[in-house]
Amino acid sequence: MYEHLLVPVDGSELSGRAMSASVELARKLGAKITGFIAEPFATPPPGVGLGYGVAVKQHDMAVHSHAHAVLSKFEQLCAAAGVPFTPFTTQASHIEDAIIEAARERACDMIVMITHGRGALGELMWGSHTKSLLSRCKVPLLVLH
């Protein structure tokens, strides 16, 4: 039925639950997983001026290191369960767009993700990637809470 799952993660405790659940689902379905992280671009802090290039390099190195660590853990979970895994990371201004594009580029037939479930006030303050994906995504979306 589903052969290729895209699993967006961010390294939080919640995304650890998404990793475990998606590995179990993929194992039962005989599917493969693409683990995905979309990291933000560097934003210039006030007063950086000429040092902005250095700040961007430091930011890019930090997000690359973070993505590598999270996706390596995910890969180990998949390997232990015998689930084929491919890591994929990018930088993006809009996380939802990056998730949709990754699913399209990688020919994923389902997205499995976790929601923080912040409620109405939290959505107002921080937005909801999940809600945005539900309204825009063309592939099935399994939302874990």
The domain segmentation of the chain, as residue ranges, is 4-144
* pLDDT tens by residue, 89-104: 999 988 899 999 999 9
Instruction: Report residue 48's pLDDT band, with 50, 70 and 90 as the boundaries.
Output: low
Instruction: Report residue 49's pLDDT band, with 50, 70 and 90 as the boundaries.
Output: low
Contacts of 13-18 with CB under 8 Å at 24 or more apart are 14/114, 14/116, 15/70, 15/114, 17/114, 17/144, 18/112, 18/113, 18/114, 18/144
Whether domain 4-144 has CATH 3.40.50.620? yes
Q: What is the dihedral of CA 88, 91, 97, 101, to 10 degrees?
A: -30
Instruction: Report residue 46's pLDDT band, with 50, 70 and 90 as the boundaries.
Output: low
Q: To the nearest whole number, what is the mean pLDDT of the chain? A: 86
- Is the model's pTM score more than 0.75? yes
